[in-house]
Structure 1
Amino acid sequence: MFLELDDHGISVLKALASDTRASILRLLLHTPLTVSELAVKLNLSKAIVSRHIRLLEDAKIIKLQDNLEDTDSRKKNFIVAVDHIALNLPQKLHLPFKVITNEIKLGYYSNFSVIPTCGLASQAKIIGKLDDQRTFVSNERIEASLLWFAEGFVEYIIPNEFNHNFTAELLELSLELSSEFPESNNNWPSDIAFYINDVFLGTWTAPGNFSDVRGKITPTWWNNELSQYGLLKHLRVTKNNTGIDGQKISSVTLAQLKIEDSPFIKLRIGIDGNSKNKGGLTIFGEHFGNYPQNILLKLFYTEAE
């Protein structure tokens, strides 16, 4: 008997996963036996043995013996129905997931469009002037560890190390986010939109822009009344759909992103003009908020042997 991991294969594995059923098989390998005879040998009730027999029968591991030579046709002897059992695992199960990780610093965007309120801050200071879009083309922008705007987007282009021998299994984006409000407002929802390779993945609604407590790693010079921290979100695109923290947000799949077709991956995060809740966007980098990380983009894959 060769097993694939389909419904029948799983039923065989379940049938074998019992000391009692293993004992029944050992006894039946030597001689055909009835339920009553097995119950005596195992010191179990007939009802219990019958339940175990039924599982082994359903899995086609044992069967009733033909009674052609038995004068008592009412006697139901069970025998082992197979000579061997082999488990045939698909190739994929031999291949562990591997991961390509890209850390994206907030100021390394390749394109942007922002509407005030907006600004950038490094670990040490405000970069440029507040609410001045020209700050977003400043040379100092590469030091940004906090980025915010009321409407618009930032776009990043990431080197794509994907190889044609790979099979993409999951793409994960993680970053700390909140909405944007002058100073702060804990109840200020904003629909934040995500795009990969120009494909709209869906939105997540940030509930507010938080300053009720200081961010764990927010620099001491940053005013207590300004945005302190966000929420760490994990967006995942699988072969089936796209979700955030386990909640489905769209039916977009990995295949639709066409990861294998370009040496780059394009990531866009922003506030669409037609959003219901246009409450702005704040992205926290490694020196602000509660989590010491920049934007992380991970591609999980298997590799053919």
Structure 2
Amino acid sequence: MKTLYLNFDNALDISKAIANKHRMEILKILSEKPHNVNELAEKLNLPFSTTAANVKKLEDVNLISTEMVPGRGTQKVNSINYDRIMVELFQKEHNEEKNEIIMEMPIGEFVDCQVKPSCGIVGEDDYIGIQDDPRSFYEPDRKKAQLIFFRDGYVEYRFPNRLPRGSRATEFEFTAELCSEAPYHKMDWPSDITLWVNGVEAGTWTSPSDFGGERGFLTPDWWLINYTQYGMLKNFKITEQGCFLDGMHLNRDTTIKDLNIHEMPFISIKLGIKKDAVNRGGLNLFGAKFGNYDQDLLVRVRHSQHYEE
């Protein structure tokens, strides 16, 4: 399945091109098989000139392509270029000084865990190990995981610390697709999911649901629809002013200084359910080929160029 990813910079032209019922119908027809303009005009019950003009607008934004195909003479045949369009609504911050480190890690690369059933690790094509058996979390193939779930416990990751010597971290960000973990799925199933960075509790997000019943954009077809399908993309940011969740102040107790990033050989990321959590509803963690977002675990560290103790 070929996906076109849009952001704030390129979404407008595509949106204008598909904001037309005839052009949407053309895409629907071409999703079944290639057609020439005459065939499209006949199915749409439109004049050839009107159909050709709409085809041209879709070609201009590269949603469809045209090639010369031999037949009765040579004819132009149109085919669709993408199976799916996704719009990224998170605005990426520009950093002209480039004092930013970006690292992405697969969800199967955890270095420590403590999990309780229901639990499991799912790859792109099948389960890894045995469902509801915590021993599966130690299988070598766990590194191929695209979905990790557990009802209680935690997983810990260690990102390389690439902070330049002599620099000081000014902002830390962590982004992941998450949701609660219920039997099968349950839309009303809150869970208090906590993030720790370098052993310091950063904050807790209460997931409202274990989302299912509607297939995630990236969730493989073999995965049953009544199981967990997708999560929510959550962004934790820690600055000198405290910890923020999706841009909203979460707490002021943990600041970037508390993380001591410049003193650590790695950056520890731990996700889990606290023992005293009010809502102990488990955790689902999604990889780049599962759920709704084409990314694994993402860390950003912004830093000053030089500082002195």
Using structure 1 for the length normalisation, give the TM-score.
0.67
For residue 288 of structure 2, what is the aligned residue in structure 1? 286
SS of residue in 2 equivalent to 1:287: coil
Asked whether 1:300 is paired with 2:302, we answer yes
Structure 2 residue ranges without an equivalent (≥5): 1-94
Shift of 1:263: 1.4
Residue type of the partner of 1:195?
W
Q: Secondary structure, in 3 states, of the residue corresponding to 1:228? A: strand
**1:166-217 residue CA offsets vs partner (Å, 9 max, x unmatched):** 2322110000000001100011000001100100111000000011311001
8 Å Cα contact 1:153/1:268 also seen in 2: yes
**Aligned-partner Cα distance in 1 for 2:175–2:156:** 15
Contact 1:191–1:204 (8 Å) recurs in 2: yes
Which residue in 1 is equivalent to 2:145? 144
Aligned match of 2:34: none
Letter in 2 for 1:300: R
**Map of 2:164 onto structure 1:** 163
Identify unmatched segments of 5+ residues in structure 1: 1-93
- Note the alpha carbon deviations across 1:268-304, whole angstroms, 9 max, x for none: 0000111000000000100100001000011012314
Shift of 1:163: 1.8
> Could you tell me which amino acid in structure 2 is paired with residue 160 of structure 1?
N
Matched length: 212
Residue deviations 1:242-288 (CA, integer Å, cap 9, x gap): 01001222221000100000111111000011100000000010010
Structure 1 residue 165: Cα displacement: 2.6
Pair member with larger Rg: 1
Taking the aligned partners of 1:115 and 1:247, their CA distance within structure 2 comes to 31
Which amino acid is the alignment partner of residue 295 of structure 1? L
1:261 corresponds in structure 2 to: 263
CA distance in 1, matches of 2:201, 2:168: 22
Q: What's 2:243 paired with? A: 242
Partner of 1:109: 110
Rounded to whole Å, the distance in 2 between the matches of 1:212 and 1:231 is 15
Q: Hey, what's the Cα distance between the residues in 1 that align with 2:218 and 2:283?
A: 19
Q: Does residue 225 in structure 1 map to residue 226 in structure 2?
A: yes
8 Å contact 1:128–1:135 — kept in the other structure? yes
Higher share of residues assigned strand: 2
Q: Which amino acid aligns with 1:301?
A: H
The AA in structure 1 aligned to 2:261 is: I
Deviations 1:124-174 (A, max 9, x none): 111111000010001110100100000000001111011233232211000
**Superposition pairs of residues 24-35 of structure 1, within 5 angstroms:** none
CA-CA distance at 1:97 after TM superposition = 4.7
Conservation of the 8 A alpha-carbon contact between 1:186 and 1:212: no
Query: Is the 1:171–1:238 contact (alpha carbons within 8 Å) kept by the matching residues of 2?
Result: yes
Identity across matched positions, percent:
36
Q: Which position in structure 2 is the counterpart of 1:178? A: 179
Q: CA deviation at 1:98?
A: 1.9
Change beyond 3 A, Cα 1:215–1:95 = closer
What secondary structure sits across from 2:211 in the alignment? coil
Residues 43-122 of structure 1 mapped to structure 2, 5 A cutoff: 96-122=97-123
Query: Deviations along 1:214-256, whole A, 9 cap, x unmatched?
Result: 1001001100000000000000001110010012222210001
Runs (4+) of structure 1 exceeding 3 A deviation are none
1:124 alignment partner in structure 2: 125
For the residue of structure 1 that corresponds to 2:149, the secondary structure is strand
TM-score by length of 2: 0.67
CA contact (8 A) 2:147 2:284 kept: yes
SS in structure 1 at match of 2:163: coil
For residue 18 of structure 2, what is the aligned residue in structure 1? none
CA RMSD, 1 decimal: 1.5
Provide the rounded CA distance (Å) in 2 between the counterparts of 1:278 and 1:249.
19
Give the Cα–Cα distance (whole angstroms) in 2 for the partners of residues 262 and 184 of structure 1: 39
